Amino acid sequence: MKKVIRLTESDLINLIKRTINEEMGKLKAEDVVSCSKLGVKTMGYCNKNTKEPIEKLPCSFIGVKSPGMCDGRTGNPVK
């Protein structure tokens, strides 16, 4: 038998924020910079501490006004 769980809008927002934070680990906006500024020959954005390219990151980290996640290589929002 399936269980129905009711969520308020704020419950859903908090759940999404928590999921994004867990996915991102302890990455902060100030840790994200253009890979070219770090001398990494990959296009897109990198973690300035590890110099590793970032595949997905919150759009707000790179100044994109779209809510959600963006592709770390192109800066375009992803679904």
pLDDT confidence of residue 13: 84
Closest CA to 70 of 48, 49, 52, 45: 45
Which amino acid would we find at residue 19? Answer: T
Q: What percent of the chain has pLDDT over 90?
A: 15
Which of the two residues, 1 and 76, has the higher pLDDT score?
76
What pLDDT, in 10s, does the model give residues 45-74? Answer: 998 888 988 888 888 888 888 888 888 888
pLDDT confidence of residue 19: 77
pLDDT confidence of residue 21: 67
